[in-house]
Structure 1
Amino acid sequence: MARNKLSETRIRNLPIGIHSDGDGLFLRVRKEGSRQWFFIFRRGDKRKELGLGGHGQGTAPVSLVLAREKAEAIRQRLARGEDLVGSKTFLDVMEDVIAVKEAGFRNEKHKAQWRMTLDTYAEPLHKKQISEITRDDVVETLKPIWSKIPETADRTRMRIAAVIDHAKARGLYVGDNPADWRGGLKELLPARGKLTRGHHAAVGYKDLPAVIARLRAAAGVSARAVEFAALTAGRSGEVRGAVWDEVDLDAALWTVPAERMKAARDHGVPLSERAVDILRGRKQEATGDLVFEGGKEGAPISDTAMVKALRAAGAGDATLHGLRSSFRDWCGDHTEYPREVAEAALAHVIKDKAEAAYRRGTALEKRRAMMSDWAQFLESPQR
């Protein structure tokens, strides 16, 4: 096959499409104007593509001369029989990425979400060689959830893309990232703006006492963790990561440190009698620092286990975060507690300086009364 078909002058005027320079070297021109070099070769019946960088773009633009040098180096390695692409699976790289992400996250919920989405929704990719994952593989993985749970589906896509970017950085994957939205997925899946998006599904507060009654009748750490989350209006990650040093049973107070809070501020949570009873029960069974221990030693109860317990109690498709919405609706519809007290209980960021000052000054004791009333409501006869 002839080589050196292209020239720098010709490249500037190439139409959208793929253009050969010969013997495996190609230039892809996208409609937005970007140009990417890549090299195509076959091993047996497998077609492989190696990305060589962008032409005239980024911090390391690849000229025609340099692209030809790279292509020739690849040809030489192929001639020697070298394996140019690693053999790790998607799951192998995924575990490495999760380990890196977990080390950097301070929010336990984010850690759980990363693992859950990749474990559950990216499972069709797990056994595939990372180097051989195609855009079609990503599309087929996302199709079952793309319209049903759009926000989770898009997060899954972004996390798949992060795994492949990690592989690219280690030389385990070459070419364009098949999970990039603008890299071709937008032509193959419905536009994100057209997907139905909503708030976290929640149990109506009037129906919540029946759910709580079934939770109380259930055994297991996950049921206690969900009930505690409902009683405290706490976020899932805050509850799952709770440790005994944060709890003062005598003062009936749980202080979540700033590093575990979304707002990066310490958050004091007044505890109702039932919440204290749950903690005393957990204390008797504790084997470590965590209040709600999971199945693995030193690990907290999983977000998935809590969701299963909530659903088993008759909460339908409600989410753990939806428990906070139920609490907020109860505050607004069923009580006379001021808005700022309810917002303080949820640890929402308050931009108004006067309201923020009020929260710091008197909200704790007002919240103690409110959380006691909330606990009594949750124990009220089933409606």
Structure 2
Amino acid sequence: MALKVNKLTDRSVRGFKSKGYYSDGDGLYLVVSGTGGRSWIYRYRSGGARRDLGLGSFLDVSLVDARLARDAAKRAVAAGRDPLECGQSAPIPAPVAPMDPPRPVRVEGRPTLLACWKDYVAAQEGGWRGRKTKAGWMRSIERHAAAIKNRPIDEIDVETVLSVVQPMWLTKAESAGKLRERLERVLDYARVMKLRTGENPALWKGNLNHLLPPRPRLQRGHMPAMPYVQIPAFMKRLADSQGMSARALEFTILTASRETMTLEATWGEIRDDVWELDKSRMKERAFRQPLSVGALAVLEAIRPARVRPNQLIFPGPKGGVMSNMAMDMLLRDLAPGCTPHGMRSTFRDWAGDETHYAREVIEECLAHAVGDETERAYRRSDALRKRREVMQAWSAYCLPGSVSSGA
């Protein structure tokens, strides 16, 4: 059986919290220290001895760059050169105590949940209407079930399913419901393929319905939105609030972005006055958002002395991705009944009622796909210059009398 490579993703790498070695395949490992630090090594053999070549910190070296460095070192080894003796890098000290590596994506003869998930998607995607369905399936496991994706499929039980579904059952009802249904389908697929036996632990009726309360009814239409006439006064109150969640909410409002876009933002995505997001961070479509003076001021206020490309802009208290409830809790205190996502509707109402900007430009500011597939095929530009004017006007409206309004 061929060894699997490129097993990690940027999202999964950020989710590893336990000390240990996490394999990407072909000798590349992410090493998580006891303090939560992350660094890359390439493990190889030279002269019969195992060697570890340090490739740098995850904050400085992206997963893509680590793979390129691994490949370069691999070529050196194949040519009979030892990268360490060539002075390519210094080794990273191994942990004091021996540690078991994490489960591989495939155990010999025992496929993991992720492997079965991908096989199921590959078998079904031909009948799906578009790429968004496949992307939604992969987001479910990478975003909400990353903690269990490398478990052998025959070890998934009720407790395993509950460990990923229960924490968001009441707070993210729609995502939790989709995850449970998708787990049920993949586990059924594994049973049919004779990879596991017994009852389906993700089954709802007669199973999880006895362990989980009824999900809240899905909210239809827009999230609760603040009337835009209240935004200037609210932004003043928000500016007086301390903490990283307050700065994250300011940035989210001033950029009209989704919560996840802000929570996972890194300094490497900021290019002068433009925020560039790869399609893996969006809904399969790369996106650029112009940054207003107000948004740039938020970044400047929290910019570290040393900016590192993969460093989170708005980290949580322990250095990882901030909880998606942090901004919600802050809004619950400052503006009961409003949600961070609802602020996008506030922006849309303001732009539609108070400005003369074209509808397509406003929708582009919200990262919405404009027009049908034919229209989008002919519309190659993302109207960055025009959108810069919109976002600057929004900043001036939100922060009257500040530097963002030109005062």
TM-score range, shorter chain: 0.5 to 0.7
Amino acid across the alignment from 1:369 = E
Q: Please give the alpha-carbon distance, in whole angstroms, between the structure 2 residues aligned to 1:357 and 1:216.
A: 42
Q: After superposition, where does 1:360-375 map in structure 2 within 5 Å?
A: 360=381, 363-375=383-395
C-alpha deviation, 1:371, in angstroms: 0.5
CA contact (8 A) 1:240 1:292 kept: yes
Amino acid across the alignment from 1:372 = Q
1:303 and 2:333 aligned: no
Q: Please give the alpha-carbon distance, in whole angstroms, between the structure 2 residues aligned to 1:270 and 1:257.
A: 15
Matched with 2:350 is 330
Report the aligned-residue RMSD: 4.9
Tell me, what secondary structure is at the counterpart of 1:268?
strand
Q: Please give the alpha-carbon distance, in whole angstroms, between the structure 1 residues aligned to 2:327 and 2:143.
A: 13
Matched with 1:253 is 274
Tell me, what secondary structure is at the counterpart of 2:353?
helix
C-alpha deviation, 1:214, in angstroms: 2.0
C-alpha deviation, 1:217, in angstroms: 1.0
C-alpha deviation, 1:302, in angstroms: 2.4
Matched with 1:71 is none
CA contact (8 A) 1:340 1:359 kept: no
Distance 1:130 1:354, change over 3 A: closer
Q: Please give the alpha-carbon distance, in whole angstroms, between the structure 1 residues aligned to 2:139 and 2:303.
A: 23
Matched with 1:210 is 233
Q: Please give the alpha-carbon distance, in whole angstroms, between the structure 1 residues aligned to 2:295 and 2:265.
A: 13
C-alpha deviation, 1:241, in angstroms: 1.8
1:377 and 2:397 aligned: yes
Q: Please give the alpha-carbon distance, in whole angstroms, between the structure 1 residues aligned to 2:313 and 2:232.
A: 24
Given the alignment, which residue of 285, 289, 296 partners 1:264?
Answer: 285
- Sequence identity, in percent? 34
1:293 and 2:315 aligned: yes
Matched with 1:197 is 219
Q: After superposition, where does 1:118-157 map in structure 2 within 5 Å?
A: 145=170, 151=174, 154-155=177-178, 157=180
Given the alignment, which residue of 276, 280, 301 partners 1:281?
Answer: 301
C-alpha deviation, 1:97, in angstroms: 7.4
Amino acid across the alignment from 1:277 = A
Q: Please give the alpha-carbon distance, in whole angstroms, between the structure 1 residues aligned to 2:190 and 2:338.
A: 36
1:238 and 2:268 aligned: no
Distance 1:186 1:331, change over 3 A: same
> Deviations 1:205-233 (Å, cap 9, x if unpaired)?
23333332222111111111111011111
> Deviations 1:312-370 (Å, cap 9, x if unpaired)?
322x2433222222212222222211110011111212344446645606x21111110
Q: Please give the alpha-carbon distance, in whole angstroms, between the structure 2 residues aligned to 1:217 and 1:110.
A: 36
CA contact (8 A) 2:267 2:307 kept: no
Matched with 1:78 is none
Q: Please give the alpha-carbon distance, in whole angstroms, between the structure 2 residues aligned to 1:258 and 1:374.
A: 25
Q: Please give the alpha-carbon distance, in whole angstroms, between the structure 1 residues aligned to 2:141 and 2:231.
A: 28
Matched with 2:6 is none
Matched with 1:114 is 144
Q: Please give the alpha-carbon distance, in whole angstroms, between the structure 1 residues aligned to 2:296 and 2:365.
A: 17
Distance 1:152 1:241, change over 3 A: closer
Unaligned runs of 5+ in 2: 1-111, 118-133, 148-154, 402-407
1:224 and 2:269 aligned: no
Distance 1:318 1:152, change over 3 A: farther
The aligned length equals 261
Amino acid across the alignment from 1:323 = M
C-alpha deviation, 1:160, in angstroms: 7.7
**366-375 vs 238-247, greater mean Cα deviation:** 238-247
Q: After superposition, where does 1:165-204 map in structure 2 within 5 Å?
A: 175-177=198-200, 179-181=202-204, 195=217, 197-199=219-221, 200-204=223-227
Q: Please give the alpha-carbon distance, in whole angstroms, between the structure 1 residues aligned to 2:264 and 2:232.
A: 25
Q: Please give the alpha-carbon distance, in whole angstroms, between the structure 1 residues aligned to 2:157 and 2:140.
A: 27
> Deviations 1:256-306 (Å, cap 9, x if unpaired)?
1222121322x1211111111111122136674221122223x23221222
> Deviations 1:19-56 (Å, cap 9, x if unpaired)?
xxxxxxxxxxxxxxxxxxxxxxxxxxxxxxxxxxxxxx
> Deviations 1:185-211 (Å, cap 9, x if unpaired)?
78999999x945313333232333333
